[in-house]
Amino acid sequence: MRMKKFSVTIAGGGSTYTPGIVKLLLNNLDKFPLRQLKLYDNDKERQDIVADACEIIVKEMAPEVSFTTTTDPEEGFSDIDFVMAHIRVGKYAMREKDEKIPLKYDVIGQETCGPGGIAYGMRSIPGVLEILDYMEKYSPEAWMLNYSNPAAIVAEATRKLRPNSKILNICDMPVGIESRMAKAIGLKSRKEMDVRYYGLNHFGWWTDIRDKEGNDLKPRIIEYVKEHGYDVGDHHDASWQHTFQIAKDVQALDSETLPNTYLKYYMYGDQEVAHTDKNYTRANMVMEGREKNVFSECNRIVEAGTSEGTNLKAGDHASYIVDLARAIAYNTHERMLLIVENKGAINNFEETAMVEIPCLVGANGYEPLAQGNIPRFQKGLMEQQVAVEKLVVEAYIEKSYQKLLQALTVSKTVPNAEIAKQILDELIEANKDFWPELH
């Protein structure tokens, strides 16, 4: 039986991650065949840098796949089966402001956590909704696989504003951490493990990890993490090394579980601020490192007319995107962590909260796996954080200054309401080209 060939649009075609996703898709044509691949972005100049190189890569790796690049929504979203969305509204220039404005007040400056995540969320909501609406207008049967940040706020916005849309929200961070866990105990792949996990996006805990025979792997992983965190000696970026190492301190707060690395920003905020150079943040590192490197390599490929010898790699642990598309396309019922409406999956938690839990994924979407009751420590933290996410979305919908001030005040990363107001007023000024006008 011949497998159906699919048509995919990558929304955010000018992203530095796009070449990796393209290579990943082309490397997996035996599992997920393509007939057509499109790049869509609203920034033609930026997208062209990436797209011209990707066109050469596609011609060399899979000349039978039709390749299109466009800034026209009708062309970009017609005749497609899947949208893979990784957009960054405001690009890295706005990420830099998201990080540096809170740091002036000794508050965490991070792209998805705290005030920076709130600012980014307010920009991302209309961008993700726009892409979702284009898809539904031009390809109503298609699925949107969204891994645009900040995923928690975006997921809450789509739940509330597009409740019947065919969108699945997913994050790569748990996948990356699971790969580290597997490496730490000598497994070849995270796919040798079955996990139980619950939380919110960038705010969760692994509660059970077993091999395919049902043997408990968690004690061995905890033993490793207590000493090394998630550092398995393979990351040369000092910022990420620190993140992986400090996981051991977060893990010590609940000895029975394994934490998501992002929890460090909530549990050890002051230490993280002290560890940060307020004048040279992660956004600067990415702009001067990854962004420059990817763009110069794309230009080199175009000048050479070949991708031979390229250092552009297939997306590191981005294979989860192919797994997700395959699960829908072939009804595989693969078990994956998704960000979904709770609806009782966590028994003692808010019904409408967007939680990150294991789901079985098939042709009709997802089936969440029940997690039962969760402990008071995690429940208390999650209730505080989900209140932030819901207040941000309400602030966006109602154009409410007060709701956004409340969101910042409730955030565990912000020490008091006075500082929340000072940060908010600066963020409003910085985001005046992106946010709705607040009243």
Amino acid letter, 144? M
Sheet strands side by side (includes 203-211): 193-200, 203-211, 258-259
CB-based contact 35:7 (threshold 8 Å): yes
Q: 172, 179, 175: which is closest to 232 by C-alpha?
A: 179
Tell me if the bond preceding 259 is cis, omega within 30° of 0: no
Q: 142, 174, 120: which is closest to 40 by C-alpha?
A: 142
Task: State the sign of the Cα–Cα–Cα–Cα dihedral 242, 387, 367, 124.
Answer: negative
State the greatest distance between any 2 C-alpha atoms of the chain, in Å, as a whole number. Answer: 65
367 phi/psi in degrees, rounded to 5: -125, 115
Would you please indicate which residues are annotated as catalytic (active-site) residues?
172, 262
CB-based contact 361:338 (threshold 8 Å): yes
294 phi/psi in degrees, rounded to 5: -65, -45
For residue 367, list its beta bridge partners: 360
In order of 84, 159, 272, 328, the CA distances from 163 in angstroms are: 19, 5, 37, 19
- Give the CB-side neighbour count of residue 404, counting CA atoms within 13 A: 28
For residue 194, list its beta bridge partners: 210
Q: 259, 251, 267: which is closest to 113 by C-alpha?
A: 267
And the tokens for 425? 């007023």
